[in-house]
Amino acid sequence: MESTDGGDEERTTKGSAWDLPDLPTGTLPPHIQLQKTRVVCNKEAPTNTENVQYAGAYAAAGVDNTVRLDDFRENFRVEVIKLTEDDMEFDLIGLDASIANAFRRILISELPTMAIEKVLIANNTSVVQDEVLAHRLGLIPLNVDPRLFEYMSENDTANEKNTIVFKLHASCAKGGSRITVKSEELKWLPNGSEFLLAKGNSASNQDSKQKTYTSFSCSQDSLPEFADNPIAPKHADIIIAKLAPGQEIELEAHAVKGMGKTHAKWSPVATAWYRMLPEVLLLKPIEGDEAEELVKKCPVKVFDIEDIGRGVKRATVARPRNCTLCRECIRGDGWEKLVALRRVKDHFIFTIESTGALPPEVLFTEAVKILEDKCERVITELS
Partner 1 sequence: MEHGSEKDPANATFSLTDEDHTLANSLRFCLNQDLRVNFCGYSIPHPSEARVNIRVQTTGDRAREVLKDACEDLMSRSQHIRSTFEQAVADYKNQQGPKPMDSD
Binding site residues, partner 1, CB under 8 A: 53-56, 66-69, 72-73, 76-80, 83, 90, 92, 95-96, 98-99, 101-102, 105-106, 110, 361, 364-365, 368-369, 371-372, 374-376, 378-379, 381-383
Q: Residue 66 or 205: which CB sits closer to partner 1?
A: 66
Report in angstroms how near the CB of residue 80 gets to partner 1 at its nearest.
Answer: 4
Closest separation in Å from C-beta 24 to partner 1: 17
What does DSSP assign to residue 14? P
d(CA 212, CA 210): 7
State in angstroms the smallest separation of the CB of 377 from partner 1.
9
**Smallest separation (angstroms) from partner 1 to the CB of 103:** 8
* Residue number with CB closer to partner 1 (160 or 346): 346
What letters, b where the CB count within 10 A reaches 16 and e where it falls short, cover 128-167?
beeeebbebbbebbbbbebeebeebeeeeebebbbbbbbb
Whole-number Å distance between alpha carbons of 114 and 263? 12
Burial of residue 103 (CB within 10 Å: 0-12, 13-18, 19+) is: buried
CB of 138 to partner 1, least distance (A): 23
Question: Chain centroid to CA 183: how far?
Answer: 24
Report in angstroms how near the CB of residue 107 gets to partner 1 at its nearest: 10
Q: How far, in Å, CA of 334 to CA of 323, rounded?
A: 20
Q: Which is nearer to partner 1, 57 or 179 (CB)?
A: 57
Q: Which are the contacts of 383, defined by CB distance < 8 A and separation ≥ 6?
A: none
Nearer to partner 1, 83 or 197 (CB): 83
User: Which positions ≥6 away from 144 have C-beta within 8 Å?
Assistant: 114, 164, 231, 255, 357
Cβ pair 327, 341 in contact under 8 A:
yes
Q: Which is nearer to partner 1, 55 or 197 (CB)?
A: 55
Is 103 or 335 the residue whose CB approaches partner 1 more closely?
A: 103
**How near is the Cβ of 144 to partner 1 at its closest, in Å?**
18
Minimum distance between the CB of residue 169 and partner 1, rounded to whole angstroms? 26
Which residue type is seen at 62?
Answer: G
Instruction: Say if residue 361 is exposed, middle or buried (CB neighbours under 10 Å; 0-12, 13-18, 19+).
Output: middle
Closest approach of partner 1 to the CB of residue 261, in Å: 9
3-state class of 29 per DSSP? coil
Q: Which is nearer to partner 1, 23 or 382 (CB)?
A: 382
55 DSSP 8-state letter: T
Q: Which is nearer to partner 1, 96 or 248 (CB)?
A: 96
20 or 55: CB nearest partner 1: 55
Whole-angstrom distance, CA of residue 169 vs CA of residue 123: 9
